Amino acid sequence: MDRRDFLKHLGWVISSGGILGGLSADAWAKMLNKTYDTTKHYYGMGIDIDKCIGCGRCMQACKTENAVPAVPYYFRTWVERYVIKTDRTVSVNTLNSDEPGDVLVEKDVLRSFFVPKLCNQCDHPPCVQVCPVGATFKTDDGVILVDSKRCIGCRYCIQACPYGARYLNPETRVADKCTFCYHRLVKGLLPVCVEVCPKQARVFGDMKSIASPLGRFTRMNKIHVLKPSLNTDPKVYYANLDGEVN
Amino acid sequence: MKDFFKKLPEQAVRVAVVFLVFVAVVFVIRQFIIPPEMKEPALQQASSMEREVAKEIQYAGAQICEQCHEKEPQIKKIGYHRDLSCESCHGAAQKHVENPTEVKPTSPKKRDYCAYCHKYNSSRPTGFPQINPDTHNPRKPCITCHNPHNPKPPTTPRSCAACHAQIERAKAASYHALIACSVCHTAPEKHKTSPRTVIPTKPDKREFCGKCHDKGSPRKGAPTVDMAAHGEKYVCWQCHYPHTLGGI
Amino acid sequence: MEAAQNFMELSKQVVGFIYPNEIDIQWSILIVVYPYITGLVAGAFILASLVKVFNVKELQPTYRLAMLTALAFMLIAPLPLQLHLGRPERSYEMFMTPNLTSAMAMFGFVYLWYLMLVLLLEIYFEYRRDMIVWSSESTGPKKWALKLLSLFSTDISEKAVAFDKKTVKIITIIGIPSAFLLHGYVGFIFGSIKANPWWSSVMMPVVFLFSAIVSGIAMVMLLYMIIIPLRDGKIDMKCLDRVASFLFYAVIVDFSIEVLDFIHRLYESEESIKILSQLVETKLFMSLVVLQILLGMLLPLGIMVVIKVFRLQEEVRKLLYFVCGLLIQLGIFSTRWNVVIGGQLFSKSFRGLTTYKMELMGIEGFLVALALLIIPFVILSILIKLLPPWKKGELAGS
């Protein structure tokens, strides 16, 4: 759907007086019309494993920004800690962003690092393919969204996501996930996890713009994505990712 | 045609009528009664995006802070915390932007908050400044010695361990425990203030390690090898990690 | 506080590492019940089609019973799906904007096709003449119910009845691929999930199909053996032996396919093999190795071999067939459990296992599942009352 269609449909919806409340919808339509063109952007994120210090500020900020249930599970973004011992055994756990945790000194560590995770905003999203009602969809600017008004909560998308990025929101009873903070993007702000990351381990950018931090990131680093064999074509790009991560 | 219908048994006609009525009812309902926004995916996606876009912002973003606060961002820009967004420490501040007098952002003053980043954790990248809060001036709030907007050690670090605790810890348990860092590394003074841009040296010759570890070296107790025959083209530390016990 | 407690309890059950969002099992006991029920529908229909299409005369006494069983279970099949939805009130969306790339979106259409165009039509043409006769013999609401069900048809001339017979045969011929479609499709819902190595297999629809045939035949056999004595009839041993023999072949095919799938996985031993082996050895040992394979498949196979080799007495045969039927139901239910629940017990990080704790009460709990398994039998008893599968003479064994 190109932009003209988008706006035409928009106008149609508003004039049909259907699902949108009058004023705010009108205001947003104007804003989208004037300042934001979905077809002119295509978003992606870069994550540098060597820079992540595992402070968990991204997890905490994401929960605040996106009203994710404040329980120790359900995350739109989370950080995993990998410890690989000299005998090649691997142990992994998810960071607890609510407290700094203990001083961690393990013996016989071969290598150890943190891996931030989030929805990969796949170019070939399996979740969109399987959604029976088309409630989850890819926008022109490359973000996968869930229509919380139409999702029936069948959870097929949660089963189909190879990355565990989706969860059933216990309050709305519909599928929920990272949106790259879509409501911030359109207003020119960064996704909140990128905003608060103290080490710039997360880099955000528009792949359609000539110069963006993401452009430099993908030029200067060797890039890997998660589970490439599944052909989902993630748009979250990792630098210095370890082969043990999946 | 007429003959065909006449030939059809009456039960087939009845079934056909029921079926056609069913199809017609479904068609009419779908085509004429259901409003378009219930059956047009394009419309639904547009309205869904509108709802997404209309969601409230909690974190205002770093740029806007500078419009009112002049001092702190200026200090911060030259220090180690220059990459930090204000809200990384002060929390979501959009409400404060909208109503600066009544809503104040948080200002963490306890040791716990700094510990999120600076408590020692072996998974953190080497060189990232980390401390053990139990031994590093216990109970004293961090901000009494460190200005959070321009954090640096109150004095220039005296020991390498201030930043390289991980290496220090490993070395303390290794055979090289008594050898000072400066024996093998030369650290320019500027490394202490710009650790990333000015980097200390590493031994670049085999002979350096050979002083103790070559066959016939005068040093007693150190394991020796015939350096002429052993590992010819490599510098020693390309295989041996000199900071750990056994040096593997 | 409660959430934290819940988390502590859940995380104690976790072995190794799982992604944080994987703490919940998404598809519960109801989704186990769903393929079990549709499997019974497809299987019962295949048994019925043996009579009409392949002219297996001995099976005639089970034909109408099989059709009614298929219908009774088919009417309940969408219920477990409906009840497990996060937002059940929105299920109509599936018909408003079906997403054509989604296997699940096709459910409504496959279901309607099978229910309306196959089952209902076939039963209508099969029973039409009898319904007209019965309605003229009875009074009150039953008379009108039958009149309505026969669509107020009145023609019982030989020509019309001959047309019915021909139509039934045509519908059955269309019905066989439809039954394959119905259950193969349920298998595809699981088999097409590439993120899940336990499910993702091209064999999945085939395994589902043959296990469906096994469970359907066994169910009709059980029902036949229960209902006939209840109606003071005599069990037709020729028919029963023949049903059991088809069941035997179906179990062999089903077992071979499952073994093939198993060997293939083991031999290819892909990335996921470690976690899947751990899954089978620990969390699924009881339900997969003991219930599904040993009790649900090998034991009935052994019993049926014994029946075939030694010429046992009629009464002993009946008893053994009955035991076989029950064991097979148990086995196929375990199969569904192992696919649906088993596929969610390991993390997609392949580094850990989680646990499913079934609720007792709740809408996705044990009692609802049990009710969903009982209701089809209630519907079947009503259907049998309204549309008796056997005439008096047939019951007496003539």
Q: Judge whether C166 lies within some domain.
A: yes
A116 touches A228 (CB < 8 A): no
pLDDT at C264: 94
| Three-state DSSP class for residue A77 | strand
Measured between CB atoms, does A214 come within 8 Å of chain B? no
Segment C203-213 mean pLDDT: 94
Interface partners of chain B (CB pairs < 8 Å, 3 or more) are: A, C
What is the spatial distance between Cα C309 and Cα A157, in angstroms, rounded to a whole number?
50
pLDDT at C316: 93
Residue of A nearest to B34 (CA): A18
Residue of C nearest to A96 (CA): C20
A170 touches A140 (CB < 8 A): no
Q: Judge whether C271 lies within some domain.
A: no
Structure tokens at A98: 């609510």
More confident residue, C353 or C139: C353
Short-list B101, B83, B240, B100, CA closest to B174: B240
Residues 6+ apart with CB under 8 A from B191: B198, B199, B200
Substitution target in A88, A105, A133, A194 with the highest count of B β-carbons within 10 Å is A105
| pLDDT tens for each residue of B25-81 | 999 998 889 888 888 889 999 999 999 999 999 999 988 998 999 899 999 988 889
Q: Judge whether C291 lies within some domain.
A: no
Measured between CB atoms, does C107 come within 8 Å of chain A? yes
Q: Which residues of B61-93 are buried (b: 16+ CB within 10 A; e: fewer)?
A: bbeebeeeeeebbeebeeebbeebbbbbbbbbb
Number of residues in chain C: 398
pLDDT at A1: 40
Q: Judge whether C141 lies within some domain.
A: yes
* DSSP letter string, chain B: -HHHHHHS-HHHHHHHHHHHHHHHHHHHIIIIIS-HHHH-HHHHHHHHHHHHHTSPP----HHHHTTT--HHHHHHHHSGGGGS-HHHHH---HHHHHSTTT-------SHHHHHHHHB-BTTSPTTS--B-TTTSSTTS-GGGTS-TTS---SS--SSGGGT-HHHHHHHHTSTTTTS-HHHH----GGGGT-TTTS-------HHHHHHHHBTT-S-SSS--B-TTTSSTTS-GGGT--TTSGGG-
pLDDT at C130: 93
Measured between CB atoms, does A70 come within 8 Å of chain C? yes
Whether the pLDDT of residue A28 is over 70: the answer is no
H/E stretch holding A112 reads strand A109-118
Segment C137-152 mean pLDDT: 90
Whether the pLDDT of residue A17 is over 70: the answer is no
pLDDT at A23: 41
Partner-chain residue, chosen from B35, B123, B128, that has the shortest CB–CB distance to A81 = B123
Contact check, Cβ <8 Å, A129/C105: no
More confident residue, C53 or C207: C207
pLDDT at A20: 34
Q: Judge whether C297 lies within some domain.
A: no
Whether the pLDDT of residue C290 is over 60: the answer is yes
Least confident of A103-112, A142-151, B97-106, C44-53: A103-112
Number of domains in chain C: 1
| pLDDT tens for each residue of B121-143 | 889 987 788 888 888 888 889 99
What is the spatial distance between Cα A29 and Cα A203, in angstroms, rounded to a whole number?
29
Which residues of chain A lie closer than 8 angstroms to B41, CB-CB?
Answer: 134, 137
Structure tokens at B141: 């709030």
pLDDT at A12: 38
The rounded percent of chain B whose pLDDT value lies above 90 is 31
| Three-state DSSP class for residue A50 | coil
Q: What pLDDT band is residue A10 in, cutting at 50, 70 and 90? A: very low
Measured between CB atoms, does A173 come within 8 Å of chain C? yes
Whether the pLDDT of residue A25 is over 70: the answer is no
- Per DSSP, C85 falls in state S
Residues 6+ apart with CB under 8 A from C292: C331, C334, C335, C338
Partner-chain residue, chosen from A133, A165, A230, that has the shortest CB–CB distance to C194 = A230
| pLDDT tens for each residue of C67-99 | 999 999 999 999 999 999 999 999 999 888 999
Partner-chain residue, chosen from A109, A183, A196, that has the shortest CB–CB distance to B52 = A183
Whether the pLDDT of residue A32 is over 70: the answer is no
What is the spatial distance between Cα C75 and Cα C52, in angstroms, rounded to a whole number?
23
Structure tokens at B73: 């961002």
pLDDT at C249: 95
**Across-strand partners of A45?**
A204, A236
pLDDT at B5: 67
* DSSP letter string, C104-140: GGGHHHHHHIIIIIIIIHHHHHHHHHHHHHHHHH--H
CA distance A155 to chain B (A): 19
More confident residue, C190 or A30: C190
Measured between CB atoms, does A183 come within 8 Å of chain B? yes
Whether the pLDDT of residue A146 is over 90: the answer is yes
pLDDT, averaged across chain C: 92
pLDDT at A33: 57
Q: Residue C129 corresponds to which amino acid? A: R
Q: Judge whether C15 lies within some domain.
A: no
Task: State ipTM.
Answer: 0.91
What is the spatial distance between Cα B176 and Cα B16, in angstroms, rounded to a whole number?
94
Contact check, Cβ <8 Å, C101/A154: no
Q: Judge whether C260 lies within some domain.
A: no
Contact check, Cβ <8 Å, C101/A130: yes
Which residues of chain C lie closer than 8 angstroms to A115, CB-CB?
Answer: none
Contact check, Cβ <8 Å, A131/C99: yes
| pLDDT tens for each residue of A191-226 | 999 999 999 999 999 999 888 899 999 999 999 999
Boundaries of domain holding C363: 26-250+359-390
Segment C22-39 mean pLDDT: 94
Contact check, Cβ <8 Å, C159/B44: no
What is the spatial distance between Cα B240 and Cα B203, in angstroms, rounded to a whole number?
13
What is the spatial distance between Cα B84 and Cα A195, in angstroms, rounded to a whole number?
8
Short-list C183, C180, C172, C204, CA closest to C38: C183
Segment A225-230 mean pLDDT: 96
Contact check, Cβ <8 Å, C196/A159: yes
| pLDDT tens for each residue of B91-117 | 999 999 999 999 999 998 888 899 999
